[in-house]
Structure 1
Amino acid sequence: MSAFIQQLPALIGVVVGALGSYLAVVRSDRARFRREQAARWEERRLGVYSDYARTLKKTITLVCRVAAHFGNDPHPHPLSPEEAAPLLAESTLARDPDGEALLLLGSPEVVEKARVWVTVVLEMEQFLRDGTRDPEAWRVLLERHRNGRDGYYAAVRDDLALPPGLAVRWQLPPVRSS
């Protein structure tokens, strides 16, 4: 029995070492799982954020084309409201599920900036449904849209810890008066 007693400290050391090793591996695996899970959610949020922006951009392109039909916008490919109606309906239908995904996965800041941006887009749509011919009022709406878009992109970059982006403003030719 004295041999066993003499070996007991070594045996306890092995058990403690094995237990410590096991706990370190479990802790490391948990940390890795959390990092991977966070990366997956970040990728999903980025997808949702870009899908929403792409959907709004499609609507903006269509409303700019219709605005060109009314002489409000310099877009080179005017589109009559009648021709645009089914395309705008399709864009609106795509915006709804993208908006729901944004509400589900988006940070509160990004959702708020998206709300600001889409509100301007809805105002632009109403402006055209009313058949308004006012290039200066349209220019103000476009500027508000650009500010809304820039705010949305800035909130997305903050949420995903991306480096700051460059707010690009294309120089557009002036609207020709008819």
Structure 2
Amino acid sequence: MDVVLQQLPALLGVVIGALGSYLALVRSDQARFRREEAARWEERRLAVYSDYARSVKKTVTVTYRVAAALGCGTHPDPLTLDEAKPLLAEANEGRDPAGEALLMLGSVDVVEKARSWVVTAMEMERFVREGRQDTEAWQALLDRQRAGREGYYTAVREDLGLPPGHSARWRLPVTVPAPDQR
């Protein structure tokens, strides 16, 4: 019995060490799991944010093309409204599921900025469906759309913890037609 009592502190040290090792391993695994899970959700949110932006941009691009046909825009590939109607319908059909996913996974700020952007895109669509030829009104819609898109991307970057990005306002060189093309 005396030998057991002498070995008891060493035995307790081994048990406490093993228990401590086990607890440290469990905590480490839990922390790794939480980090991996957060990364998976962040990847899903990025995919949802990208899909939504792509779906809104489809509508915007088609309206650019129709506005060019109406004489309000400068898109190099103009479309008549009749040619554009199936493309607008397709864009709207794609935007609905992307919007639902955005509502489920998006932050409050991102969803609000997305709403602002898409409302302007819908106004652009209404503009071209009505066949309006008001260049100033179209330019105002373009400016609002660009600001809405920029606001959306800024909110997405903030939500995902990314650094600020480019405003996507490209300055295109002004081309002067050659004398024989005037």
**TM-score band, normalised by the shorter chain?**
over 0.9
1:5 to 2:31 alignment: no
Residues of 2 paired with 1:171 and 1:56: CA distance? 22
Q: Deviations over 1:50-83 (max 9, x none)?
A: 1111111111110000111111111111100001
- SS class of match (2:22): helix
**1:8 offset after TM fit, Å?**
0.4
Match of 1:39 in 2: 39
Please report the TM-score for the alignment, with normalisation by the length of structure 1: 0.95
Residues of 2 paired with 1:153 and 1:171: CA distance? 19
Match of 1:55 in 2: 55
1:104 to 2:126 alignment: no
Match of 1:145 in 2: 145
Residues of 2 paired with 1:83 and 1:171: CA distance? 30
**Which amino acid is the alignment partner of residue 26 of structure 1?**
V
Match of 1:81 in 2: 81
Residues of 1 paired with 2:21 and 2:169: CA distance? 57
**Which amino acid is the alignment partner of residue 23 of structure 2?**
L
Percent identity, aligned pairs only, is 66
**1:168 offset after TM fit, Å?**
2.3
Provide the alpha-carbon RMSD of the alignment.
Answer: 1.1
Q: Deviations over 1:20-55 (max 9, x none)?
A: 000000000000000000000000000000111111
- SS class of match (1:4): helix
Moved over 6 A (4+): none
Query: Which ranges in structure 1 are unaligned for 5 or more consecutive residues?
Result: none
- SS class of match (1:88): helix
Match of 1:65 in 2: 65
Residues of 1 paired with 2:39 and 2:57: CA distance? 27
- SS class of match (2:72): coil
**Which amino acid is the alignment partner of residue 54 of structure 1?**
R
**1:171 offset after TM fit, Å?**
3.1
**1:119 offset after TM fit, Å?**
0.5
Paired residues in the alignment total 174
**Which amino acid is the alignment partner of residue 111 of structure 1?**
V
Match of 2:167 in 1: 167
**Which amino acid is the alignment partner of residue 66 of structure 1?**
V
Q: Deviations over 1:76-106 (max 9, x none)?
A: 1110000100111011000000000000000
**Which amino acid is the alignment partner of residue 63 of structure 2?**
V
- SS class of match (1:72): coil
